[in-house]
Amino acid sequence: MFGLLKNAFQAKDIRNRIFFTLGMLIVFRLGTHITVPGVDAGAISSLASTGLFSLLNTFGGGALSQYSIFAMGVSPYITSSIVVQLLQMDIVPKFVEWSKQGEVGRRKLNQVTRYLTVILAFVQSVGISIGFNQLSNLGLINTPGMATYMMIALVMTAGSMLVMFIGESISMYGIGNGTSLIIFSGIIARIPTDLYTYYTERFVNAGSELTKNILFSVALLVGILLVVILVVYVQQAERKIPIQYSKRASGTNQSAHLPLKINSAGVIPVIFASSFMMTPQTILGFFAATHSDASWYKVLTTIFNFREPIGAAIYTTLIIVFTFFYAFVQINPEKMAENLQKQGGYIPSVRPGKGTEEYISGMIMRLSTVGALFLGLIALLPIIASGLWNLPHSLALGGTSLLIVVGTALETARQIEGRMVKRNYQGFIQ
């Protein structure tokens, strides 16, 4: 890893991309400390144990704890991306047509995604402001009223669009996926605070249970390291499907392989599922003031709280569903089979065309089953552990955070390696 970074900094173009990425992340981190006008950020500390707060704070890069202008983070952008991608599945004919138009169609879909992000960011801003103000009972909003809520929503919506711009700029001019890196930076920035909180609870206030807490902490650290190793192993694991090219296509009989990852969707399903859990909770925030004692409100709040058994089950199910969905978005079996046939390639013992498409689809289904169960297990284990051993609330999202951190780091490293290889190849040609 250190050798990769050393070589990357020796290449001017890659070094500039790394510095650009770091600069944009610094801008984002500075923005997370600018509190929205008309809000008492200290009052929100009482909501740290709620599921919606934890989710929004994670995807806001820790900005919600300050109720900053970037408090919404990338969650509206992620949610709108999910909606637009779902609508491309033969639901909206115009979106299906655009998805087949290459770069021009992609720009049109991105424009729709941005407009939808504005709407979602505004709705979510109003929802969490009203909901959190009612739940905190400590005066989160200094002067509650429609004008104040509209002003706060406009500021937070503008902040969310700026975060979206930062993410897209990193993806285009920097290194790595901008959206994932924004979440990554927020998780990393919160680690010192979480460690200090854990240290205070387990050691400073331990009393006679100091030895027991030391042993438990060592076991927890070993468990985390083992999970990290498992995550890296599964994220890197792939199935190599042999490919043969005919003499007519290449001049000689050549063999290659088609690599299919066990978890080809990466950490996107976890991000999608978490964002999906936020939307109902945001809507419920509008009814917190008038229906907080109603039975239906309590039932729905329990259902969409990932710390409750039913909420955790829904959260895990969403991760599994999105893993299959995004795997087929990333790898299009029909197009892959068509490209192989055009290039004179074939999978041994598999008929070209429709047979190849069905073979690749079946392989993706089998691999994604393992990947989906793996993602669901990693996301669910910390929630269970947090409930069983009364661990800090931040650890309940530890599986999600760990998957995002490791997945983003691996993806960024792969992009750096890819650019290094491309640069060396170009230099050889010249």
179 and 273 assigned to the same domain: no
Provide the CB-side half-sphere exposure for 125 (13 A, CA). 32
How many H helices and E strands in the chain? 17, 3
Q: Give domain status of residue 42, yes or no.
A: yes
Task: Round to whole Å and give the CA distance between 354 and 10.
Answer: 47
Nearest to 25 by CA among 155, 172, 169: 169
Residue 41: Cβ within 10 Å count: 16
- Answer yes or no: do 166 and 35 share one domain: yes
Looking at the fold, whether 156 and 245 belong to one and the same domain comes out as: no
- Among left, alpha and beta (phi > 0; psi -120 to 50; other), residue 136 is alpha
Domain that includes residue 324, residue range: 237-391
Last residue of a domain, one of 189, 221, 254: 189
CA-to-CA dists, residue 353 to 358, 362, 365, angstroms: 9, 14, 19
Q: How far apart are CA 94 and CA 63, in angstroms?
A: 36
The residue out of 189, 209, 224 marking a domain boundary is 189
Does 216 reside within a domain?
no
Q: Is residue 174 part of a domain?
A: yes
Tell me how far apart the alpha carbons of residues 188 and 225 are, in angstroms, rounded to a whole number. 16
The 10s digit of each residue's pLDDT in 347-379 is 888 888 888 888 888 888 888 888 888 888 887
Is 251 found in the same domain as 172? no
Q: What is the pLDDT of residue 45?
A: 64
Beta bridge partners of 244: 255, 346
Task: Write out residues in the chain with pLDDT < 50, as ranges.
Answer: 249-250, 426-430
How many domains is the chain built from?
2
> What is the tens place of the pLDDT at every residue in 2-23?
676 777 777 788 888 889 999 9
Q: Classify residue 202: in a domain, yes or no.
A: no
Spatial distance between the Cα atoms of 226 and 385, rounded to a whole number of angstroms = 15
Strand pairing class (238-245; 345-346): antiparallel
| Same domain, yes or no: 1 and 124 | yes
208-253 pLDDT, tens digit per residue, is: 667 777 787 788 788 888 888 888 888 888 888 888 877 554 455 5
The sheet carrying 345-346 orders its strands as 254-261, 238-245, 345-346
Question: Do 62 and 30 touch, CB atoms closer than 8 A?
Answer: no
**For position 154, what pLDDT does the model report?**
92
Are 161 and 256 in the same domain?
A: no
User: What's the pTM?
Assistant: 0.76
In a domain, 86, yes or no: yes
CATH code for the domain in which residue 23 is found:
1.10.3370.10
Residues near 37 by Cβ (< 8 Å), separated by ≥ 6?
Answer: 151, 152, 155
386 and 241 together in one domain: yes
Q: How far apart are CA 304 and CA 271, in angstroms?
A: 16
176 and 258 both lie in a single domain: no
- 12 within domain boundaries: yes
